[in-house]
Amino acid sequence: MLTHFDAKGDAHMVDVSGKAVTARTARAEGAVRMSPETLRLVTEGTAKKGDVLGVARLAGIMGAKRTADLIPLCHPLPVTSVSVELSPDATLPGVRIEATVKTTGQTGVEMEALTAVSTAALTVYDMLKAAQKDMEILGIRVMLKEGGKSGRYEAAP
């Protein structure tokens, strides 16, 4: 049932040698919840002090490229596109993060999209922790996965 274990129950990297090389896309989302005061530092910052969201966007993009280094049984693969969007949301209150990753390969890129979101969220925390320590990272999940034999998956809204 769990593909990352062989018949004896030992962990291994799944053999994808026989899978077709197809175009694959994945999108993931997540958020960092913070106080309205901290969020104000972010939104004002973009305009005139420092660019919290810009730094976190870069970190997310670079994080996607490190996925196979971090996740033990993840296949290394050359991603062909990574974009990360961060948007302040006063109703959370906090920052919403969405990452989209593409490749042409033998295995999906949802781990790359999740790692991008996760790294961007950690970076948001790092840049704001001097102002607030009890922020929370939440709601990290896969929104879309397409390409490959298992077909299209889209999360419930």
Residues between 63 and 102 that touch a copy of itself (CB under 8 A): 63, 65-66, 68-85, 102
32: enclosing H helix or E strand = strand 22-33
DSSP at 60: H
The CA distance from 148 to 24, in Å, is 7
Over the window 28 to 67, marking each residue x when it contacts a copy of itself by CB under 8 A and - when it does not, the resulting string is --x----------x---x--xxxxx-xx-xxx-xxx-xx-
β-bridge pairing 22-33 and 81-89 = unpaired
Q: Give the closest residue to 30 by CA, choosing from 73, 85, 102.
A: 85
The CA distance from 26 to 31, in Å, is 17
Restricting to residues 138-157, which ones interact with a copy of itself according to CB under 8 A? 138-142, 145, 153, 155-156
- 11 counts as binding a copy of itself under rule CB under 8 A: yes
- 103 counts as binding a copy of itself under rule CB under 8 A: yes
Q: What is the nearest approach in angstroms of a copy of itself to the Cβ of residue 62? A: 5
Q: What is the nearest approach in angstroms of a copy of itself to the Cβ of residue 78? A: 5
Instruction: Give catalytic residue positions.
Output: 126
